Amino acid sequence: MIPAPYLLYLGHSTDFVGIKTSRGLAAFRPQDCVGEFRYDDCPLSVGMPRMSIAEGAAAGAKTLVLGVANSGGMMGQALIDDAAAALEAGMHVASGLHQRLRDDPRLVALARAKGLQLFDVRDPPANLKVGNGYARAGHRLLTVGTDCSVGKMYTTLALVTGLRERGVTADFRATGQTGILIAGAGVPVDAVVADFISGAIEQLAPARDDDGWDLIEGQGSLFHPSFAGVSTGLLHGAQPEAIVMCHDPVRTDMRGIPGRALPGLAECIAMNLQVARLTSPEVRAVGICLNTSAMDPAEARAICLKTQDKIGLPCTDPIAFGVNEILDELLCPAPLARSTTAFR
């Protein structure tokens, strides 16, 4: 476990989506966060007290969490310098970037000299096996998306909370850096060698016979040229009984690929069901979750209702409006979404 409390790193970030790890920890583990570290040219905040590295250490922070992400997951010189400053101040450093902290000799030497640790969250478990696709017991739901960074983790956590409030046993299965930091465990699926992706998810959510649910955090999109391979492996390894589609209704282009439009919701649902049927022939879509954070409440409710009427599945913003209708469909299929013929 990564020692808490945390100082959340925003650095020089200007991309709201790119600070999703810091945002996720601030939202779901606020009790374990003392503040945020950012420069004057960073216009963003996760709602925590702004602190310098020294102030964070004085406030009791034990770990600086590099809660930023960029294309390729590389560490720039400024970030490395800030990580070194945290070590000098007596804090451990945790990162979910693809470039490993342990591969920087300066950070390794500092950590060793200070008796501190470097935590590379994107390290997959050892001894993973390839997937086999054999039917296994248990209830599993996978969140999927029209694009990356559209709210799959938030949706998954909201569904877990909702099931537990109904007295249903439910477990969050994290597959990305933010989810792993929130849950304290998981598989960073985008760091797994391609042949082992489905097997890693079979291991993450093995057979269970307690009538509980594994809620598996999705990654990427089948329609994103950069990340469709990970999304495919997740669908096969999760062997989901149900999927929930996540979407950002104000986004026009695929993240990181200007000019490439997002797929239509019905098209995307149909493709995810088709791919999932390789290992889960009876999979069904049970709802749509929209990220309406950029809309006013009336506009958000209107687009949820419009989408529900158009697609024929319960539709909500899981943070703004909850997930009750989707849980109703999941646990007791309603006429609205009982048929998946339209998505075949």
* Superfamily of the domain at 139-343: P-loop containing nucleotide triphosphate hydrolases (3.40.50.300)
Token readout for 326 is 């989707």
Same fold, 6-120 and 139-343: yes
pLDDT at 334: 64
What pairs with residue 141 in β-bridges?
A: 215, 242
* pLDDT tens per residue across span 15-64: 988 899 999 999 999 999 999 999 999 999 999 999 999 999 999 999 99
pLDDT tens across 75-117, in order? 889 999 999 999 999 999 999 898 999 999 999 999 999 999 9
* CATH superfamily of the 6-120 domain: NAD(P)-binding Rossmann-like Domain (3.40.50.720)
The whole-number average pLDDT for the span 306-317 is 98
Helix axes of 105-114 and 77-88: crossing angle, nearest 10 degrees: 10
Please give the model's pTM, rounded to 2 decimal places.
0.91
Domain boundaries, the chain: 6-120, 139-343
Contact predicate 297/320, CB 8 Å: yes
The tokens 């339209």 sit on which residue?
342
Residues 327 and 166 sit within 8 Å (Cβ to Cβ): yes
